[in-house]
A and B are shown apart, each in its own frame.
Chain A
Amino acid sequence: MIKFNNVTKIYPANFTDGSVASVLQDVSFEIKEGEFVSIIGKSGAGKTTLTRLILGLEEPTSGEVYFKDKNIHALDSAEIQKIRRNIGCIYQDYKLLPAKTVYENVAYIMEVEGASDGDIKKEVPKVLEMIGLKEKMYNFPKELSGGEQQRLAVARALVNHPDIIIADEPTGNLDPYNTYEVIFLLEKINKAGTTIILLTHDREIINKLGKRVITLVGGRVIRDESEGRFII
């Protein structure tokens, strides 16, 4: 489903000292449909750059990134938007729409897809119920707790049944209770057939999951194990 082929990403020279920042170096791996893959590494290891490359937000300096056999960086803006609709993203800072209610935040994803009003009215309350936010349907994100906002981000990521969900440090701002709630939810979604990419530096989560782990150190893949543990 997703394939990194010798991807290197170097940011342009620093204005003050002229140094270049090499974030990813010759990274290659493949993620198959239905997999639950955790990508681990310290801050600055290149995890977020991987996400940005998959979403077409960054161009690789060399190499290719494929989504369903399509080279993402050879596509035009409209096609990249189509791919983004197939990827559900969960961010550490939630990236919710503050001027829209809980219901509208989730419905927006279906509206972007062009779903009918009837489907939206049927599907959104169902997802909110599953995520435990049905009671707060008409609240705005600022009226929710951190955990609730993260659950809303999860609801938004899965409402249109995307092919893949990328969760970039989804538990970074959460307490242990909410952390396990979110991870449990991701596992449940994965069991239903959705591919999950989890980017984290939370040792406990990785060791408990017992799923495939790709370890990044200094922008290089140093380990890729099918039942990996958090070892850096």
Chain B
Amino acid sequence: MATNLKRIIEFGFQDFSRNKGISVAAIFVLVVSIALVTGLVFFQGAMGYLISQVQNKIDITAYFKAGTQEQNILAVKDQVLEMSPNIKNVEYVSGEQALVDFNERHKDNPVLSQALQEVGDNPFLSSLNITTNGDPLQYAQISSALQTSDFSELLDKVDFSQKKDTIEKIYSITSNINIFGIIFEIILTIVAILVVFNTIRLGIEGSKEEITTMRLVGASNRLVRGPFIVQGIIYGVIAFIICFLLSLLFAVSLSSKMSVVLPGFNMLSYFLTNWWIFVLIQLGFGTAVGAISALVVVKKYLKV
């Protein structure tokens, strides 16, 4: 058993080194396919970041009646936090703070400053700014819970109904991006698998006569098939090493350019944080597609 395994591995390496043309072609196709799949991982990372950024911008605000005590508002804040596990953050903004923020934001707009002066008092109400995990249904549930709760008499208004359409539109766009992203990835991955499979098939077709001879002299299925599978794994490992280095190079060289297109998204840190996912996908895709393709193709010629 051990001798057989050793021989299978030796034959695999031997065939790999002797069929240089086929080996180079198979590795090249695998590198292109793995690069395609890697590109999809980067794309998904960027899209995930974009979607989370958009979803973080969605919130609902509960405004309290003028004169509501701060301690009452903070007590409501604690209750809101316990309402649902989907609530990500509740931020208290006092009326005074809202005024300061408004002035800061519109300091260059004299019309707005003048309008505020004409009003006289601080027109801003204290509020709780609530963000969830992004599903509009959660916002609707929280809004209705707020309006029917014990503390509803403290509330002046909840601005969900004004934002409802925008929230739903953003949610629909982000979920569509997700769905189309997944479909796109599946199609490209299938195409990549088929291209690799066909390249390996063409390589093995050239050894059809050799496989028949091996069977004629009594070689077991394992001894005939094994070296081709080993070759497939070698293709996968070499293609993985090339692709991993290319991905690192790609992340380093394009990181600054990507930050311009998608502010806050750092490709290099995304790659370094998720390096093990890249290893798993690139190595797994390369070796699995290489080995399984060989397994399937050789099986056809073992019927001798």
- Chain A positions within 8 Å of B14 at CB level: 99-100
- Chain A positions within 8 Å of B210 at CB level: 97-99
Whether B213 lies near A81 (C-beta < 8 A) is: no
Whether A112 lies near B213 (C-beta < 8 A) is: no
A144 at the interface (CB under 8 A from B): no
- Interface with B: A31-39, A82-90, A121-129, which one? A82-90
- Chain B positions within 8 Å of A98 at CB level: 210
- Chain B positions within 8 Å of A18 at CB level: none
- Give B115 Cβ to nearest chain A Cβ, in Å: 87
Whether A112 lies near B218 (C-beta < 8 A) is: yes
> What is the total number of residues of chain B having a CB less than 8 Å from a CB of chain A?
22
Q: Which residues of A54-83 are within 8 A (CB) of B?
A: 55, 57, 77-78, 81-83
CA distance A108 to B15 in the complex (A): 14
B4 at the interface (CB under 8 A from A): yes
A95 at the interface (CB under 8 A from B): yes
Which listed residue, B15, B19, B209, B217, touches A84 by the CB 8 Å rule?
Answer: B217
B3 at the interface (CB under 8 A from A): yes
B304 at the interface (CB under 8 A from A): yes
B252 at the interface (CB under 8 A from A): no
Which listed residue, A77, A82, A114, touches B4 by the CB 8 Å rule?
Answer: A114
- Chain A positions within 8 Å of B214 at CB level: 97, 108, 112
Scan B239-281; emit 1 where CB is below 8 A from any A CB, else 0: 0000000000000000000000000000000000000000000
What size tier do the contact residues of chain A reach? 20 to 34
Which residue of A is nearest B209, CB measured?
Answer: A95
- Give A8 Cβ to nearest chain B Cβ, in Å: 23
- Chain A positions within 8 Å of B207 at CB level: 99
- Chain A positions within 8 Å of B304 at CB level: 57
B18 at the interface (CB under 8 A from A): yes
Which residue of B is nearest A95, CB measured?
Answer: B213
B83 at the interface (CB under 8 A from A): no
B7 at the interface (CB under 8 A from A): yes
- Give A112 Cβ to nearest chain B Cβ, in Å: 5
- Give A149 Cβ to nearest chain B Cβ, in Å: 13
Whether A84 lies near B3 (C-beta < 8 A) is: no
- Give B219 Cβ to nearest chain A Cβ, in Å: 5
- Chain A positions within 8 Å of B218 at CB level: 81-87, 112-113
B220 at the interface (CB under 8 A from A): yes
B111 at the interface (CB under 8 A from A): no
B223 at the interface (CB under 8 A from A): yes
The 7 A-B pairs with the shortest beta carbon distances in the complex, nearest first, are: A85-B218, A84-B218, A95-B213, A112-B219, A81-B218, A99-B18, A112-B218
20 A-B residue pairs with CB within 8 Å: A77-B221, A81-B218, A81-B219, A83-B218, A84-B215, A85-B218, A87-B218, A89-B216, A95-B213, A96-B213, A97-B214, A98-B210, A99-B18, A99-B210, A111-B7, A112-B214, A112-B217, A112-B220, A113-B218, A114-B4
- A residues near B, CB below 8 A? 55, 57, 77-78, 81-87, 89, 95-100, 108-109, 111-114, 116-117, 156
- B residues near A, CB below 8 A? 3-4, 7, 14-15, 18-19, 207, 209-210, 212-221, 223, 304
Known: A57-B216, A84-B218, A112-B220. 17 other contacts (CB 8 A): A55-B216, A78-B220, A84-B215, A86-B218, A87-B218, A97-B210, A98-B210, A99-B14, A99-B19, A108-B214, A109-B217, A111-B223, A112-B218, A112-B223, A113-B218, A114-B3, A116-B3
